[in-house]
Amino acid sequence: MATIEEALEIERLERDIFRGASPKTQLPRTFGGQVAGQALVAAVRTVEPRYQVHSLHGYFLRPGNPDQPTVYLVERIRDGRSFCTRRVTGVQDGAAIFTMSASFHVGDPGPQHQDVMPVVRRADELPDAQTSMDPERLWAMREWEHWDIRPVPQEEVTARDGVVAKQQVWFRYRHALPDDPLFHVCTLAYMSDMTLLGSSKVIHPDEQTQNASLDHAMWFLRPFRADDWLLYDQSSPSAGFGRALTGGKIFDRRGALVAAVVQEGLIRTLREE
């Protein structure tokens, strides 16, 4: 299947209009991480290099057609001395399928602190999905063959009082990526939509549900490489009325908190025909 370079490829049509690639996929609708990643690449292309993206907030409005490219319309909302803001709308067949606001910052000195990374087994101590015989993991492996994704066994997931649904996943891109930090940020935006909604299903394993991302927010906190191991520490504090709230903290293997994610997703009981 597509490499991350192919999945994030966009073509400039006008000053603030871009067209994203539609790489080969086995999914029935466009992967949300691809839309978010391409939208962020489009926003980055309209910002001076001294600014670094520090947050994005997006809504998935309609399912995308994976066989059709998405056009991204970028609005230059603000250009300031320290911050600038972009709004991006992804369009197919004249209808918006995704909208996102992204904020960029030059970086300033200030106090520092972070949460501590949970204690889990190292990624290299967990089995590679390529050696799995589980049909679901093998299907995902075909779609995301360039990613090394290793869930921590549920019985080993770090427990916290009062947290009802947790999941922990190690991941990295299998191949060396360019050194450009913004490419790693866009790669992580792509990856961050993967597995997160699954944290809402760990205590409902037998429930048959329709699942889809509804909105997605990310904060990029420290430099990182997406081709080195990252731990996605996920939880779902609430599910009800056909929706689930999920969140994740992403740490590098040295324990630095590099990003945070919040997502609400559709988790609706399958309707009987």
How does DSSP assign 260-271, residue by residue?
Answer: EEEEEEEEEEPP
DSSP strands (E only) in 1-50? 10-14, 17-20
Point out the catalytic residue in the list 199, 213, 234, 236: 213
Known catalytic residue: 132?
no
Point out the catalytic residue in the list 193, 234, 235, 252: 193
Pairing of the two strands 10-14 and 147-151: unpaired
248 DSSP β-pair partners: 234, 261
* Cβ contact 177:230 at 8 Å: no
User: What is the biggest distance separating any 2 CA atoms in the chain, rounded to whole angstroms?
Assistant: 58
**Inter-axis angle of helices 32-44 and 181-191, to 10 degrees?**
160
Known catalytic residue: 55?
no
Closest CA to 106 of 74, 71, 87, 79: 79
CA distance 242 to 244: 7
* Cβ contact 9:70 at 8 Å: no
* Cβ contact 151:140 at 8 Å: no
Q: DSSP class of residue 37?
A: H
* Cβ contact 246:263 at 8 Å: yes
In the numeric block, which tokens belong to residue 32? 């949300």
Q: Is 136 exposed, middle or buried (0-12, 13-18, 19+ CB in 10 A)?
A: exposed
Point out the catalytic residue in the list 192, 200, 235, 263: 263
Known catalytic residue: 263?
yes
In the numeric block, which tokens belong to residue 113? 């602190």
The catalytic residues are: 193, 213, 263
